């Protein structure tokens, strides 16, 4: 999907069908890209693949792979 919103602790990703999911981003979230990446690389419009786990009432991203647009 594509990152449609981003903050210091959360990203929202919208998939091809238009469904938006918000993921918490923590210090333990692994962020990968073809080159070294950090949470600063999570910007609106970035193409990503996210794996996450439920945590309370939300979803916490375990890993985020930034892919080519």
pLDDT computed for residue 69 by the predictor = 56
The predicted structure's pLDDT at residue 63: 92
- Tell me the three-class secondary structure of the chain, residue by residue: CEEEEECCCEEEEECCCCCEEEEECCCCCEEECCCCCCHHHCCCCCEEEEEEEEECCEEEEEEEEEECC
Q: What's the pLDDT tens digit per position in 14-66?
A: 998 999 999 999 999 998 888 778 888 889 999 999 999 998 889 999 999 99
């Amino acid at each position: 999907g594509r990152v449609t919103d981003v903050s210091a602790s959360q990203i929202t990703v919208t998939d091809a069908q238009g469904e938006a999911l918000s993921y918490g981003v923590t210090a333990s979230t692994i962020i990968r890209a073809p080159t070294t990446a950090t949470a600063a690389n999570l910007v609106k419009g970035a193409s990503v693949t996210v794996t996450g786990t439920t945590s309370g009432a939300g979803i916490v991203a375990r890993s985020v792979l930034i892919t080519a647009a």
